[in-house]
Amino acid sequence: MTVRRVLAVVSYIVLSMAIAYPWHLIWFHDAYQAMGAVTRPEPNVPLGMLSMLMQGLVIAYLYPFYYRGGNPIVEGIKFSMIVGLVVYSVMGPATAAKFDINPISTFLAYHTTFQVLQYLITGIALGAIFGRMQSLPSMAREDT
């Protein structure tokens, strides 16, 4: 794994945790609990960290195949939002469909806002880390 990929994974985990911890465990914890979106008395932090590690590894691996030039920050945000939409589909509507969360519209509003912020910020970092990669074939760019 290249230095850029390691930095991308670490930045994804650190930035996601910096946003997720206060969002879910401080600012909106009581609201999520009242809606039924939080049922554990204590979160399983190692499992959450594993989830972020897996997401970060996938993002860091796939981004060099996606980037074709242009403003690296804009491209990082666009790619991150695409990946974020996939994650959101599982974490937002699918969660509300499986669990007794009410009101669903409030849960989705909070969760959508959180994930847009998460993937906006991590996308900026992704673009900054990879910067302007040379216009080389995908496999050649892997070593950047």
* Average pLDDT, integer, range 116-124: 98
The DSSP-derived string for the chain is --HHHHHHHHHHHHHHHHHHHHIIIIISHHHHHHHTS---SS--HHHHHHHHHHHHHHHHHHHHHH--SS-HHHHHHHHHHHHHHHHHHHHTHHHHHHS--SSHHHHHHHHHHHHHHHHHHHHHHHHHHH-S--S--HHHHTT-
Nearest 5°: the CA angle 47, 20, 6 is 70
Task: Mean pLDDT check: name the lowest of 12-16, 66-70, 81-85.
Answer: 66-70
- What is the structure's pLDDT at 41? 86
pTM of this structure? 0.87
Model confidence at 140: pLDDT above 70? no
Dump pLDDT digits (tens) for 24-55: 989 999 999 999 998 888 889 899 999 999 99
Domain ranges of the chain: 3-141
Using a 10 angstrom Cβ sphere, with 0-12 exposed, 13-18 middle and 19 or more buried, the burial of residue 40 is exposed
Dump pLDDT digits (tens) for 10-24: 999 999 999 999 999
Model confidence at 83: pLDDT above 50? yes
- Assign residue 138 a region (left: φ > 0; alpha: ψ between -120 and 50; beta: otherwise): alpha
